[in-house]
Amino acid sequence: MRTILHRGLTLAAASVLVIAAAACGGGSSGTPGVTASTVVVGTHQPLTGPASPGYSKISVATKAYFDHVNAHGGVHGRKITYRVMDDGYNPANTQQVVRKLVLSDRVFAVLNGLGTPTHTGVLDFLKTNRVPDLFVASGSRSWNQPAKYPTTFGFNPDYTVEGKILATYIKGNLPNRKVCFFGQADDFGRDALAGVRQVLGAGTIATRQSYVPTNTDVAPQLSTLKAAGCQVVVSATVPGFTALAVATAARLGFRPQWVVSNVGGDKTTLAARLGAAGAPLLDGLVSAGYLPAVDEPANPWTVQFRKIAEEYAPDLEFDGNVIYGMSVGYLFVQALQAAGRDLTRTSIVDAVTANGFTGPGMVPLRFSAGDHSGYGGLRVNRVTGGKQAYVGPVYVTDDRSGPVREYTEAAPTPPANAIPVG
Amino acid sequence: MARVGLRHLTVTIAGASALVGLTYLLDPFRNYQLATAAAYLCATAGLTLLIGLNGQVSLGHGALMATGAYTVALLPSGMLLLSVAAAVLVATLAGAVVGVAAARLRGPYLAGVTLAVTMVVPAVTTMADAVFHGDQGLSVAAPPAPLWVAPERWQAWQAIAAAAVTLFVLANLLRSRFGREWRAVRDDEVAAQLAGIPVARTQVLAFVVSAACAGLGGAMFAVLAQSVSPSTFSLTLSLYLLLAVVVGGLGSLAGAAWGALLLVLLPDAIHSVTDGLPLGPDLAQRLTGNLPLAVFGLTLVLVVLAVPGGLQGLLVRAVRRLR
């Protein structure tokens, strides 16, 4: 009898606890996360864990940009609040933190949620709750499924587009080499490989190896690539693993031509990872980009973004991740402006679908009713003497068998204060 | 015996109904947390039985949960009840295999073997990439909630049902011959053997029952998250489960419930605290990922030192003093 009493007591105590906790959360009518003076958006980012090198700075930069915009009056009188949740690049954590953002913090939208494996797991949840899922920080093709996920939009050029463009560079500049592939064991790696194969031909990849972000031992894979006599290694890797691969290869006495995805090819991030002794290994590294570069000091976007970073995030070392984070912030402000004074979840999705945005990107965004993928092209860059500079033309292409074309239109110059004119 | 069973049934139904009523008072996020706690409870109840009542330690329960979760993910969606049953079955089989090995080992050696089981999960999902999709995992297309109930509330009901079934079965088992044998083996293996109890068989059985509970918990995890990935079932999960049953109160089902609730609420509470503190972004970043683990570890040490009976023991003592 006593056990029953205890059990009942436990149950009652537990119920009280949960109700008390529930009382803390409030509810309101209208569009979640939007008031006359604020708009709350959330994101999930790898502030810790295997993908944190480099990427942990992105949300800090976006936040700095929003602080800058808020200091200039916000958008339609609304200040932007950016709630950043750490998921450690762990899909299980992403499930938790995104639910917290949407159900508990009641964010208006999820912005720039980072990672292919992480964000893939929350697509269905965001769809069920009709949350705008804007500018996902990954180049997976999964974000471009307008019929299945009507509120999800990409940002990065997808990895297949990138694979095709990197392969075009290899074809033109590194002919007759033995090309191999090293990639993340998920849609990131798979999509990138599909693009490379599209241009070079399916049989031309001599060896391909993959890694999982939870295992930091990549020596077996790189030994295999070395043994296969690879001369060019196309690497679809996050920065931590690019650095790991380059360093491990060097230890094995393996010095291939590295051709790295833009998400894992930021020189400043990699150099910080490799340290002073390892940084020279990056010389000759080929990657790509679609945003202004740190090593283009004269680019007006770089100048403006650097100024904002110095004012609102003075401890942040200025690199490609910072430019990326600010570019995301810029596009979101454009979307908010286009959505109009009467901001709803429908109005922002309509505004993004209508597109017409121009900003720091070198190529157009592809958003339309039938296409939710982000930027449609890139420009190859190369590290020479410690500087990462763009080389050759800007290319655009699609994620299928379409041709890789040169894109000649110049990017616009930034408006005053780098705040879009609404 | 029948009277005890009836009493357990009454308590279970009353408790489950109270919780279902509670779901109407909670906002969606709290309902999701309640669902998660109920899913955790399936596993912690099984684990507290194994450790507290049979004296076998397991650091492999996260992996056993994974077998349940992946079973649900790999089976065709639509017949959820059937895939959950299959998940329990698969976890039971996995538990039988590990249990046979476990029955031959004691103390740290047992912990070592079960630890190895946990480490195998990510390796298997990566090696059989075509089936398990590596780190990215699989998505679970659980049947949608009926139109008249909010999705999070519906998830909470499903998890509460699973936890209720688990607790009912375990409560009855504990009061039966099996429960007495488990305790006898825990207290003194030699004495138990002299009394005619087959020690190894008893231990395997305890492990199998415990694994079935973990499988059910894992299956509910898959349904709640609508996805399965190896990182959900990492070593950290196994350690958390162990912490939860010790902090909650080893060997008692109520303690398992406290532990499950703690697993859900503590990380959340810590996040709110760090959110409210005026920390530099750098420090805040480092804290968010690591603080829950540190707090859990510290709590464990304090509980073992100060209140070996865990939260439930503390509560029982407090009630006694009041009387």
Q: Which residue has the higher pLDDT, A22 or B242?
A: B242
The verdict on residue A358 lying in a domain is: yes
The answer on pLDDT for A27 being more than 70 is no
Note whether A193 and A219 are within 8 A (CB).
no
The verdict on residue A360 lying in a domain is: yes
The answer on pLDDT for B276 being more than 80 is no
Q: Write the DSSP string, B163-211.
A: HHHHHHHHHHHHHSHHHHHHHHHHH-HHHHHHTT--HHHHHHHHHHHHH
Note whether B223 and B73 are within 8 A (CB).
no
The verdict on residue A371 lying in a domain is: yes
The answer on pLDDT for B293 being more than 80 is no
Percentage, residues of chain A above pLDDT 70: 93
Residue B280 confidence (pLDDT) = 62
Q: Which of B96-110, B199-213, B264-278 has the lowest mean pLDDT?
A: B264-278
Query: Which residue in this structure is represented by tokens 């008390």?
Result: A20
Residue B143 confidence (pLDDT) = 82
CA A293/CA A200 separation, integer angstroms: 28
User: What mean pLDDT is predicted for residues A20-39?
Assistant: 69
The answer on pLDDT for A368 being more than 60 is yes
- Whether the predicted interface score ipTM is above 0.85: no
Q: Same structural domain for residues A149 and A180?
A: no
Q: Same structural domain for residues A224 and A317?
A: no
- Of A17, A120, A125, nearest to B136 by CB-CB distance is A120
Going from the C-alpha of B70 to that of each of A121, B77, B209, the distances in angstroms are 14, 12, 19
Query: pLDDT for B71-126, tens place per residue?
Result: 999 998 778 999 999 999 999 999 999 999 888 888 889 999 999 999 888 788 88
* Joined tokens for residue B59: 């650091």
Centre a 10 Å sphere on the Cβ of residue A147 and count the other Cβ atoms it contains.
Answer: 7
The answer on pLDDT for A126 being more than 60 is yes
User: What mean pLDDT is predicted for residues B130-149?
Assistant: 85
CB contact under 8 A, B258 and A88: no
How close B132 comes to chain A (CA, Å)?
A: 11
Residue B212 confidence (pLDDT) = 98
Q: Same structural domain for residues A224 and A167?
A: yes
Name every chain B residue with its beta carbon within 8 A of the beta carbon of A120.
Answer: 136, 139, 227
The answer on pLDDT for A171 being more than 60 is yes
The verdict on residue A266 lying in a domain is: yes
Residue A313 confidence (pLDDT) = 94
Q: Same structural domain for residues A169 and A283?
A: yes
- How confident is residue A365, by pLDDT bands cut at 50, 70 and 90? very high
Q: Same structural domain for residues A250 and A164?
A: yes
- Of A104, A121, A214, nearest to B29 by CB-CB distance is A104
The answer on pLDDT for B37 being more than 70 is yes
Going from the C-alpha of B283 to that of each of A202, B144, B192, B278, B289, the distances in angstroms are 47, 41, 54, 10, 11
Which is nearest to A291 in space by CA: A280, A281, A299? A299
Name every chain B residue with its beta carbon within 8 A of the beta carbon of A313.
Answer: 281
User: Chain-wide mean pLDDT for chain A?
Assistant: 91
Residue A223 confidence (pLDDT) = 97
SS3 call for A369:
coil
The verdict on residue A226 lying in a domain is: yes
Query: pLDDT for A236-279, tens place per residue?
Result: 999 999 999 999 999 999 999 999 999 999 999 999 999 999 99
User: What mean pLDDT is predicted for residues B231-251?
Assistant: 90
Residue B295 confidence (pLDDT) = 83
Alpha-carbon dihedral sign for residues A321, A357, A122, A194: negative
Going from the C-alpha of A282 to that of each of A23, A180, A182, the distances in angstroms are 54, 18, 17
Q: Same structural domain for residues A86 and A61?
A: yes
Domain that holds residue A119: 38-156+296-376
Q: Where are the alpha helices (DSSP H) in B188-280?
A: 189-194, 199-225, 235-248, 253-276
- Would you mind telling me the total number of residues written for chain B in this entry? 323
Residue B1 confidence (pLDDT) = 58
A121 reaches B (C-beta below 8 A) = yes
B60: Cβ contacts below 8 Å, ≥ 6 apart: B98, B113, B114, B115, B116, B117, B118, B238
The answer on pLDDT for B184 being more than 90 is yes
The answer on pLDDT for A14 being more than 90 is no
Q: Same structural domain for residues A168 and A237?
A: yes
User: What mean pLDDT is predicted for residues A319-343?
Assistant: 97
CA B93/CA B194 separation, integer angstroms: 30
The verdict on residue A311 lying in a domain is: yes
- How confident is residue A3, by pLDDT bands cut at 50, 70 and 90? low
Residue A112 confidence (pLDDT) = 97
Note whether A100 and A82 are within 8 A (CB).
no
Q: Which of A320-324, B266-270, B279-283 has the lowest mean pLDDT?
A: B279-283
- How confident is residue A212, by pLDDT bands cut at 50, 70 and 90? confident
How close A281 comes to chain B (CA, Å)?
A: 29
Residue B274 confidence (pLDDT) = 73
Residue B181 confidence (pLDDT) = 95
CB contact under 8 A, B254 and A95: no
Q: Same structural domain for residues A45 and A147?
A: yes
The answer on pLDDT for A28 being more than 60 is no
The answer on pLDDT for A26 being more than 50 is no
Q: How many degrees, rounded to 5, is the angle at CA A323 between CA A101 and CA A186?
A: 60
User: What mean pLDDT is predicted for residues B16-33?
Assistant: 93
Q: What is the CATH number of the domain that holds A72?
A: 3.40.50.2300
Total domains in chain A come to 2
- How confident is residue A29, by pLDDT bands cut at 50, 70 and 90? low
Q: Same structural domain for residues A285 and A314?
A: no
Closest residue of chain A to B15, computed from CA coordinates: A11
Instruction: Name residue A67's amino acid.
Output: D
Q: How would you classify residue B240: left for phi > 0, otherwise alpha for psi between -120 and 50, otherwise beta? A: alpha
Domains of chain B by residue range: 2-234
SS3 call for A390:
strand
CB contact under 8 A, A186 and B135: yes
User: What mean pLDDT is predicted for residues A212-221?
Assistant: 91
How close B103 comes to chain A (CA, Å)?
A: 30
The verdict on residue A32 lying in a domain is: no
CB contact under 8 A, B26 and A11: no
The verdict on residue A29 lying in a domain is: no
User: What mean pLDDT is predicted for residues A70-80?
Assistant: 96
User: What mean pLDDT is predicted for residues B140-158?
Assistant: 88
Q: Same structural domain for residues A246 and A178?
A: yes
Q: How would you classify residue A19: left for phi > 0, otherwise alpha for psi between -120 and 50, otherwise beta? A: alpha
